[in-house]
Amino acid sequence: MFDIAFSELLLIALISLIVMGPNRIPEAVRSFSLWAGRISQAISSAKRELENEVGMEEIRDKLHNEEVLRNINHSKEQINQELKKMQVSGENRTDL
């Protein structure tokens, strides 16, 4: 997701140590983690609600069923082609 190297993280940690001081950094990290968790949870909740409203599960099921049906039809066509080849080869064969 983010392309942050270890050196960049180290630079951010050093700047935050200078700006905030060693006493307030643990509190700031906890606060940041709490907010990040809340935001992540809110996004997940909104995504679930949107999927339920739109009916994504039904759409996924229909798409899956259509794919299965296409595969079955493709297999049926292949079998019919092979049967035709067998019939043609049987007609061309002369039994003594």
pLDDT digits (tens, 9 = 90+) for 31-83: 989 999 999 999 999 998 888 887 888 888 899 999 999 999 999 999 999 99
Q: What is the CA radius of gyration of the chain?
A: 31
Q: What tokens appear for 22 in the block?
A: 């060693």
> First-to-last CA distance in the chain?
73
pTM as predicted: 0.46
**Going by C-beta distance under 8 Å and a sequence separation of 6 or more, which residues neighbour residue 82?**
none
